[in-house]
Structure 1
């Protein structure tokens, strides 16, 4: 697959705000909300361009005007542009499948909550330069992600001739560069609880996002709500595929794969290759690097993603990539938060990107990583030492103020010194925990990299259940804890999974209902959450054979 690394067509893409004051006359309409008037905060020339684009979209896809009033552009990229629109006829449609059934105690409840009187959506206009296969893949994956927490939900999609428009909920969000250096540690925890919940849910459906980065995770620091968007590069994961690397491909039990056992002959071959690479590293400059006329057979592997966020296995062209590549990308974002630097990595190509990692982690670590993917790593660059830094040492070098909490809540009582000491100790404990999570996310061996579910049970992110949620779990006779209590099971799974089935003829997901009835489900329906059954089985699901 070609490198589509700088795809920026995310819902809620960064927009530049104008310095001048809003047009007072335009803002005077009392029937309009602030969200409808954001276009007037932009410079006149940009506003004029957006208005032209909106007119063109309404002319090209005329059926949009019946249900949506386009009010602004949210962002634009290589493959699409995204517009904000007012959903005029929201109440006239069946919205349950994409809104889901997230309980009040879930961090994703805002996705299911009753919306305000005016509902805004994001209209993603996918350019005709995108291949039909790519468009179909994105729409299909978005449909399968219905019900996932903190994931942009597909409401509907339109096609008019060669134009395709996908409709998703609009979420207010801030530019990552505006808050990554000032967000308190509690805000960082909220950010990654949302992100890892999104990753856990899509990974459980065998979907890898491939382009996790701040621009594709819309976060509102005020509400601590985050939404993973832009599935243009996402793919379905194939399980139990034969591996050409020294690790297995992903499986149901091992989503990041396992280290493959080596025969004595294979171990000897790998050892000899590493010895040869080290000899080359010690040799003159002309013996290190890529030959001008390289006669070696080319290696093809998926490299889709954004530079600076690609995992080592992507850079080494591993042909058995797994959902672990999303965890590495999430770790790179956490690195920016802790180091107070963005972007951290900014290489122009894969070779430079590997050298950036080697400059931090050292030559030996990169050699071992290359060996895992049947590659060798050789360099004679003096800055690359044999043994590099840990991720904790790297963060401490970038951010000398790491262990000094921001004075956001200064103590105000008589025991001020003691309170300040306790606050500092708590901050340092959280920082140590965050650094440990960072190390597990940025593990160069993908088979040892932490999974999204494991991350949510890490001391930095784990949250205790309320007594109310515990009681509800006991009511359904299921013993769950932590994030499992709010996990939306893949279709056909969960406590009422025995009452779900796939029609062998139509391949449609169906449910058995009492008195011999069945129902064909649309995407987003029939999802059990935690210990709770799906919406069709709240009264029970243990039907007798004659009832079904």
Structure 2
């Protein structure tokens, strides 16, 4: 990391000091909180004040904050820069890997480059060129079809470039692909969650792949209770080939005293440390283990499923007698059938299975099916799925298209578009078992997008068709023969993703007013002449099977981009 920092810091010699009173500059009206953040950054990295004048805070994420700054070059030209301040708890290897991705692949083919890097102790600031850009939400209502075609072409061009170096970006979304409409400039940014393929040319990504699962912040460590401790995890791993990034499962512990507090089954949710991502499903802000009682079904005999905890291993207790000593077993057999299917709980048989570890980094709504189902062998295909979701939003005029609170609901939403049979069939190709209680037909992408955008003759009928799916949808992904069951109310999916007829009418009305305000009709903007090749490319990007999903280099040769 030291070598990478020293190499990059040499470039900062091109910059000189510019101190200027900016009190009367009306362009940057900062809040007290932003001013405090800027002052804190100046104190953390003092050399910043000698080179840059920070104007504003323009972005904030889980692992970094981005600031707009100006500096005067020796030539006398004042230039804008983007300063990315990484959180102090970031692992040094992860920081160095991001810098190496920017230096190896950045600066060309629509990929953001790096100018220099400043460091003081645990604080690291990456200096990058600033690209003024529009918000994806702002352009979605007024973008023309010709612009969509160019936008997707340049995005795939950037992906083909980074994939050529064996870089999996892992967080493709509109906010990470900057677009300047006036200058027709594009930039793929934020390699903070990037990982490498088996043949990656970025050496530090090989280290990230090998050790990433072991890195975590101290505040994310699982809470361990006192007393007799029993290793405990929530899922089982099937005997499938694991890549080098797969590591032994994270251990969870619970005490016998806590297990005896009541006769209810105990669902244990611990704050699991996952490298390179925020645990969005955590219910405990303090990072400790949570013991949450789940009321059992009245028709099920609890004594037939009651689990006894010993000092070494959990064993299954039969009957109500609990005074006799129990012999520990090696582990819960993988073929043992559970009885929580179609219920609102997770039984102790499923809880006793080993936890499965797989990369899950990314933004909800853009994660590929193989990521949602914790497939350990993930490739650059996950970036192509995310690009397909962006393309789906552009063609349908709906953003975000998928929005779910957990992975199972996200998978259920994908099923409403791509079909349940297709999802189950694709999951088997990468060693997963997905169970669905109802057969959900696949939607025609062309009809779906036209109706959502309002260019179809029967506007709004798409929602009625989607809502005909039964309300009791059950989706259960796992890698074992008896997967964990988790009931999903389809109404939750509807609340998260689908639009009511009233909401759609309001949005269409707003879109129509926007179109009139810009003096551009649907005909001029080209949405009445979307070719079938566009939906063919969308279908290939949203291929549920990562092995057959189109690659970026192949997508650039698709007939949809003929002439570009």
- Which category of TM-score, normalised to the shorter sequence, fits these structures? 0.5 to 0.7
More deviation, 222-231/392-401: 392-401
Give runs of aligned pairs for residues 22-41 of structure 1, distance below 5 A: 26-27=24-25, 38-40=27-29
Contact 1:125–1:163 (8 Å) recurs in 2: yes
Residues 201, 91 of structure 1: CA spacing in aligned structure 2 closer, same or farther, 3 A cutoff? farther
Q: State the alpha-carbon separation in 2 of the partners of residues 189 and 248 from structure 1.
A: 38
- Residue in 2 that maps onto 1:191: 151
Quick check: 1:362 aligned with 2:322?
no
SS of 1:377's equivalent? strand
Contact 1:219–1:226 (8 Å) recurs in 2: yes
Quick check: 1:67 aligned with 2:51?
yes
CA deviation vs aligned residue, 1:322-350 (integer Å, no higher than 9, x gap): 11111110110111111111111111111
Q: Give the alignment partner of residue 168 of structure 1, picking from 128, 132, 154.
A: 128
More deviation, 179-188/388-397: 388-397
Q: State the alpha-carbon separation in 1 of the partners of residues 145 and 74 from structure 2.
A: 38
State TM-score, norm by structure 1: 0.59
Residues 131, 410 of structure 1: CA spacing in aligned structure 2 closer, same or farther, 3 A cutoff? closer
Q: State the alpha-carbon separation in 1 of the partners of residues 527 and 453 from structure 2.
A: 15
CA deviation vs aligned residue, 1:72-118 (integer Å, no higher than 9, x gap): 211112211111111223649xxxxxxxxxxxxxxxxxxxxxxxx32
How many angstroms does 1:64 deviate by?
A: 1.6
Q: Give the alignment partner of residue 48 of structure 1, picking from 18, 28, 32.
A: 32
Q: Give the alignment partner of residue 395 of structure 1, picking from 445, 449, 454.
A: 449
Contact 2:68–2:83 (8 Å) recurs in 1: yes
Residues 91, 328 of structure 1: CA spacing in aligned structure 2 closer, same or farther, 3 A cutoff? farther
Contact 2:415–2:440 (8 Å) recurs in 1: no
- Residue in 2 that maps onto 1:456: 556
Contact 1:87–1:118 (8 Å) recurs in 2: yes
- Residue in 1 that maps onto 2:405: 348
Q: State the alpha-carbon separation in 2 of the partners of residues 398 and 248 from structure 1.
A: 41
Quick check: 1:231 aligned with 2:229?
no
How many angstroms does 1:284 deviate by?
A: 7.2
How many angstroms does 1:393 deviate by?
A: 3.4
CA deviation vs aligned residue, 1:266-320 (integer Å, no higher than 9, x gap): xxxxxxxxxx9xx999x9724x985454133322110100100001111121111
SS of 1:319's equivalent? coil
Q: State the alpha-carbon separation in 2 of the partners of residues 66 and 205 from structure 1.
A: 35
- Residue in 1 that maps onto 2:142: 182
Stretches of structure 2 lacking an aligned partner (at least 5 in a row): 1-21, 201-208, 210-237, 245-334, 460-511
SS of 1:179's equivalent? helix
How many angstroms does 1:172 deviate by?
A: 0.4
When the two structures are aligned, how many residues end up with a matched partner? 359
Contact 1:90–1:119 (8 Å) recurs in 2: no
Q: State the alpha-carbon separation in 1 of the partners of residues 432 and 50 from structure 2.
A: 56
Residues 323, 245 of structure 1: CA spacing in aligned structure 2 closer, same or farther, 3 A cutoff? farther
How many angstroms does 1:378 deviate by?
A: 0.9
Q: State the alpha-carbon separation in 1 of the partners of residues 107 and 520 from structure 2.
A: 41
- Residue in 2 that maps onto 1:202: 162
- Residue in 1 that maps onto 2:66: 82
State TM-score, norm by structure 2: 0.58
CA deviation vs aligned residue, 1:382-431 (integer Å, no higher than 9, x gap): xx4243223223323423326999687879xxxxxxxx98x79x755534
Q: State the alpha-carbon separation in 2 of the partners of residues 358 and 302 from structure 1.
A: 22
Residues 120, 87 of structure 1: CA spacing in aligned structure 2 closer, same or farther, 3 A cutoff? same
Q: State the alpha-carbon separation in 2 of the partners of residues 289 and 379 from structure 1.
A: 17
Q: State the alpha-carbon separation in 1 of the partners of residues 144 and 73 from structure 2.
A: 40
Stretches of structure 1 lacking an aligned partner (at least 5 in a row): 1-23, 28-36, 41-45, 93-116, 251-275, 412-419, 465-548
More deviation, 289-298/199-208: 289-298
Q: State the alpha-carbon separation in 2 of the partners of residues 396 and 171 from structure 1.
A: 33
Contact 1:83–1:124 (8 Å) recurs in 2: yes
CA deviation vs aligned residue, 1:109-167 (integer Å, no higher than 9, x gap): xxxxxxxx321110111111222232222112222123431111111111111110000
Contact 2:89–2:122 (8 Å) recurs in 1: no
How many angstroms does 1:370 deviate by?
A: 1.3
SS of 1:460's equivalent? helix
SS of 1:26's equivalent? coil
Q: State the alpha-carbon separation in 2 of the partners of residues 246 and 398 from structure 1.
A: 40
Q: State the alpha-carbon separation in 2 of the partners of residues 322 and 194 from structure 1.
A: 21
